[in-house]
Structure 1
């Protein structure tokens, strides 16, 4: 799975301006109240079922957005999988081997892993008689963490293309959805989400500092 690490800052190393924080870019398709209602667990609904539906929705939307700008994400243009704050993501295979790969390869790994996982009836059951595995929440945590990496890379390296295509409001809405879901159920390590904390604050205001009650984090 993907892990994050922070690059050492070289003398004079600075990041490009964050275009996604410009006022003209800070729009989204749904108001905050509607988004909060979107993530609140309805009374009587199974928690795992709720997580599954949101995970599938986020995967579909993030995959769709990346697909629209994937031609700009190349081995030469994005030789590393990077995010804001000089963050570099390394891929860890199933044996725990650490690999540094280009962004398009990393994202292909993420999407392939996620598609395979959500299509597995033993993990994401669709038939009435089948139950969610006991490890379901930890699996969702992995998926959402990896999808967060993809979103971070899009904002960091490809927001200009997203904006030129007129998809920035859609991207912001998906990011707000992912952020509020995480705030509600505490699904992603804060060390992962801190790199887009300024965007959280800009899009969601005071809600960006609202954290759900701690739950057991799967390792």
Structure 2
């Protein structure tokens, strides 16, 4: 179901620099042939716990999450999105509150979401700055809470309509909440396991992903990241797709 008008972006593709031809045996005379190089050691990265069985299968809801994100009859789509945003924020905030003491300036000096991915915050000067994860998450949660409390953004009184900017606002909210999920999975999933809360947290995140894709609140590129800086939970997205939990 479409929730947003597509936003066109003009993008220019930079021309790739020309590469030097790869040397071959024909390039060198026998006396100039370089000595054989030993094979580079293979570095294997251990699989994250959240991708390992039985944790990747742990969930409270069985089957495809699409069935629980469909718009109910006679419910306004704006109201449906607003209510679900509130629930996702509330539940995620509660999970983070439980493990917050483990997320501090020393353990999480950056807002990481993968071995090569650190999120940056846009400050008041419109500059990207690195923040410690607890500071970044505090900024996100405070900002979302202020939006939810603002009746001009999330109207709760009869006769008050949603502003025209509501779709773009909730899309930005969704992107920031995704980053909080991604950091918890990357840096604190072992604490979730210690609390035996992995079925609850997995179900919350799968619901969040399914809802975001159903109403175009979430871009796949935000879930997966880039080839040079992949988001850790991008693999979890793929695993749940293969298991039939999420749609393609």
| Structure-2-length-normalised TM-score | 0.75
Q: CA deviation at 1:29?
A: 0.9
**How far apart are the structure 1 equivalents of 2:79 and 2:133?**
31
1:96 counterpart SS class: coil
2:119 counterpart SS class: strand
Which residue, out of 138, 152, 171, partners 1:108?
138
| Bigger Cα Rg | 2
For 1:142, the equivalent position in structure 2 comes to 172
Q: Answer yes or no: is 1:153 the counterpart of 2:187.
A: no
2:121 counterpart SS class: strand
Unaligned runs of 5+ residues in structure 1 are: 1-10, 211-219
Q: Answer yes or no: is 1:52 the counterpart of 2:89.
A: no
Partners of 1:90 and 1:100 within 8 A in 2: yes
**How far apart are the structure 2 equivalents of 1:129 and 1:85?**
48
**How far apart are the structure 1 equivalents of 2:83 and 2:158?**
15
For 1:86, the equivalent position in structure 2 comes to 116
Q: Answer yes or no: is 1:66 the counterpart of 2:103.
A: no
Q: CA deviation at 1:36?
A: 2.0
**How far apart are the structure 1 equivalents of 2:128 and 2:55?**
36
2:120 counterpart SS class: strand
Q: How does 1:1-219 map to 2 (within 5 A)?
A: 17-26=47-56, 27-33=58-64, 35-194=65-224, 195=231, 196-204=233-241, 205-206=243-244, 208=246, 210=248
Structure-2 change in CA distance of 1:12 and 1:141 (3 Å): farther
Unaligned runs of 5+ residues in structure 2 are: 1-40, 225-230
For 2:9, the equivalent position in structure 1 comes to none
**How far apart are the structure 1 equivalents of 2:44 and 2:185?**
16
Q: CA deviation at 1:198?
A: 1.8
Using the TM superposition, name which of 83-92 and 110-119 deviates more: 83-92
Partners of 2:206 and 2:246 within 8 A in 1: no
1:32 counterpart SS class: coil
Using the TM superposition, name which of 162-171 and 194-203 deviates more: 194-203
**How far apart are the structure 2 equivalents of 1:146 and 1:14?**
30
Q: Which has the higher helix share?
A: 1
Q: CA deviation at 1:199?
A: 0.8
Using the TM superposition, name which of 77-86 and 58-67 deviates more: 77-86
**How far apart are the structure 2 equivalents of 1:81 and 1:13?**
25
**Count of residues in correspondence between the two structures:** 199
Structure-2 change in CA distance of 1:37 and 1:30 (3 Å): same
**How far apart are the structure 2 equivalents of 1:199 and 1:62?**
18
Q: CA deviation at 1:80?
A: 0.3
